[in-house]
């Protein structure tokens, strides 16, 4: 029997689908969702929910004790575009929430943690194509700095205190159930909504900005697979590179035109262009394949078909 799981930040883009996937797998009562706000009806009606601030150690500890929680998935964070506007708030949220769960595990109150990192750990000096697991990492964004520091702390807690913390560097995630929460790759979700609403989209990144992306189903499967993997096979305790597809706004527009021929895209890059320009174009995820057999299933055209079908 699965011991109880707690998800912090469960009402966001990833948390909503992760909660539903874990509930489908382990039974609703074993998966406690929590956030500082309520989520959509499907999430709220499908199992236990707690209003919980991930920066409040005592409040998390109370919930952990009450439900006899064994595993924590920490999805609360401030994302890349928003973090540039509120640097100190982003740093405080992203770091204090991570220390809270790492310290709960160090004290033996929980036994396993999932914490997501991001391709934002890389920076402008990182080789852009097929970016390696270990390479130059000089992030130039507030968000990237917090994720890179988080990775170092995860590895430190694993090595020093034997904390079983697992992580992937998610690329930009595309999904239809929940809107994205203030990242630089949000355009790749908005574009499908606008394509269906008014057959046109003004993109905040330029036409040739190639970034690593992934369909949400692949991201959820990767998360569950990594958490179920045998600990002895895991050679990376900072965070695994995770790849799927890479495309530009021009590529996604072409893919949409196969379904909606009259679709038009225009470009008006804003401050997010600079963030995108500092990130890799494609990711080498061979270590994840080797250690826990990671293989993506959705390419760009599969993603477009799924998005238009479900949003339409
Ligand atoms: N979505 C992506 O494309 C992407 C890519 C790379 C990494 N990630 C990482 O995955 C994780 C989840 O991202 P997401 O896209 O679901 O983000 P999101 O912004 O959609 O959701 C974050 C959730 O955290 C909640 N939250 C904020 N402050 C909180 C607090 N103090 N206590 C509890 N909850 C709080 C928010 O209400 C929100 O529901 C983050 O760590 C993010 O950095 C996401």
**CA pair distance 128, 162, nearest whole angstrom:** 33
195 lies in the same domain as 102? no
pLDDT in tens, the chain (312 residues): 789 999 999 999 999 999 999 999 999 999 999 999 999 999 999 999 999 999 999 999 999 999 999 999 999 999 999 999 999 999 999 999 999 999 999 999 999 999 999 999 999 999 999 999 999 999 999 999 999 999 999 999 999 999 999 999 999 999 999 999 899 999 999 999 999 999 999 999 999 999 999 999 999 999 999 999 999 999 999 999 999 999 999 999 999 999 999 999 999 999 999 999 999 999 999 999 999 999 999 999 999 999 999 999
Same domain, 205 and 140: no
- State whether residue 4 is helix, strand or coil: coil
Contact criterion met (CB below 8 Å) for 162 and 113: no
Please tell me the total count of domains within the chain: 2
- Whether residue 234 is contained in a domain is answered as no
The continuous run of DSSP H or E covering 190 comes out as helix 187-198
With the most atoms of ligand 1 within 8 angstroms of its CB, the residue from 7, 8, 13, 146 to mutate is: 13
Separation of 182 CA from ligand 1 center, angstroms?
Answer: 9
Same-domain pairing of 27 and 122: yes
Q: What residues act catalytically?
A: 143
Question: Are 177 and 304 contained in the same domain?
Answer: yes
Dig out the tokens for 243 from the structure.
């790849």
Is residue 84 within 8 Å of residue 18, measured between CB atoms? no
Parent domain of 294: 172-213+243-311
Residues 6+ apart with CB under 8 A from 139: 120, 121, 122, 123, 145, 147, 148, 278
Q: Is the CB of 253 under 6 A from ligand 1?
A: no
CB 223 near ligand 1, within 6 Å? no
Task: Using most ligand atoms within 8 A of CB, pick from 79, 114, 176, 276 the residue to mutate for ligand 1.
Answer: 79
The pair of structure tokens assigned to 179 is 């809107």
pLDDT value, residue 163: 98
Q: Same structural domain for residues 161 and 206?
A: no
Map residue 68 onto helix, strand or coil.
coil
Label each residue of 197-235 as H, E or C: HHCEEEECCCCCCCEEEEEHHHHHHHHHHHHHCCHHHCC
Shared domain check, 147 and 15: yes
Q: H or E stretch including 63?
A: helix 57-67
One domain for residues 85 and 182? no
CA 78–ligand 1 middle distance (angstroms): 6
Residue 284 lies in a domain: yes
Q: How many whole angstroms from 260 Cα to the centroid of ligand 1?
A: 31
Asked if residue 110 is part of any domain, the answer here is: yes
Give kind and range of the element (H or E) at residue 161: helix 142-161
pLDDT score of 2:
85
Domain assignment present for 230: no
Asked, for residue 139, whether it belongs to a domain, the answer is: yes
pTM (predicted TM-score): 0.97
Pocket test for ligand 1, best of 6, 7, 8, 9 (most atoms within 8 A of CB): 9
Q: What share of the chain is helix, strand, coil (3-state, %, to 5)?
A: 45, 15, 40
Identify whether residues 71 and 187 lie together within a single domain. Answer: no
Query: What confidence score (pLDDT) does residue 1 get?
Result: 78
How far is Cα 209 from Cα 246, in angstroms, rounded to an integer?
Answer: 10
Q: Is the CB of 8 under 6 A from ligand 1?
A: yes
Is residue 158 domain-shared with residue 17, that is, in the same domain? yes
Distance 15 CA to ligand 1 centre (A): 7
Q: What is the DSSP string of 240-284?
A: EE---EEE-HHHHHHHHHTT-TT-EEEE---THHHHHHTS-SSB-
Q: Is residue 282 part of a domain?
A: yes
Q: Whose CA is nearest to atom 25 of ligand 1?
A: 9
Bridge partners (DSSP) listed for residue 215: 174
Check if the beta carbon of residue 69 is closer than 8 Å to that of residue 32: yes
Q: Are 40 and 178 in contact (CB under 8 A)?
A: yes
């Amino acid at each position: 029997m699965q011991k109880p799981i707690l998800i912090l930040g469960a009402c966001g883009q990833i948390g909503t689908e992760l909660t539903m996937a874990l509930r489908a797998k382990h039974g609703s009562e074993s998966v406690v969702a929590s956030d500082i706000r309520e989520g959509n009806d499907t999430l709220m009606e499908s199992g236990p929910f707690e209003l919980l601030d991930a920066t409040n150690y005592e409040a998390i500890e109370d919930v952990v004790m009450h439900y006899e929680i064994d595993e924590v998935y920490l999805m609360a964070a401030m994302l890349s575009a928003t973090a540039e506007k509120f640097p100190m708030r982003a740093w405080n949220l992203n770091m204090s929430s991570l220390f809270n769960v790492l310290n709960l595990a160090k004290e033996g109150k929980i036994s396993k943690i999932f914490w997501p990192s991001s391709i934002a750990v890389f920076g402008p000096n990182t080789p852009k194509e097929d970016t390696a697991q270990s390479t130059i990492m000089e992030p130039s964004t507030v968000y990237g700095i917090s994720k890179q520091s988080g990775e170092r702390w995860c590895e430190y807690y694993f090595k020093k205190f034997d904390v079983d913390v697992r992580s992937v560097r998610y690329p930009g995630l595309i999904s239809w159930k929940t809107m994205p929460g203030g990242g630089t790759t949000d355009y790749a979700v908005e574009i499908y909504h606008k394509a269906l609403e008014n057959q046109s989209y003004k993109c905040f990144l330029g036409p040739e900005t190639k970034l690593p992306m992934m369909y949400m189903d692949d991201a959820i499967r990767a998360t569950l697979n990594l958490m179920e993997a045998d600990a002895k096979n895991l050679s990376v305790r900072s965070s695994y590179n995770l790849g799927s597809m890479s495309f530009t706004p021009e590529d996604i527009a072409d893919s949409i035109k196969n379904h909606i021929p009259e679709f038009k895209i225009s470009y008006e890059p804003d401050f997010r262009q600079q963030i995108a320009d500092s990130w890799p174009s494609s990711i080498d995820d061979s270590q994840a394949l080797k250690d826990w057999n990671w293989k993506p299933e959705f390419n760009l055209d599969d993603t477009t078909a799924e998005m238009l079908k479900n949003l339409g």
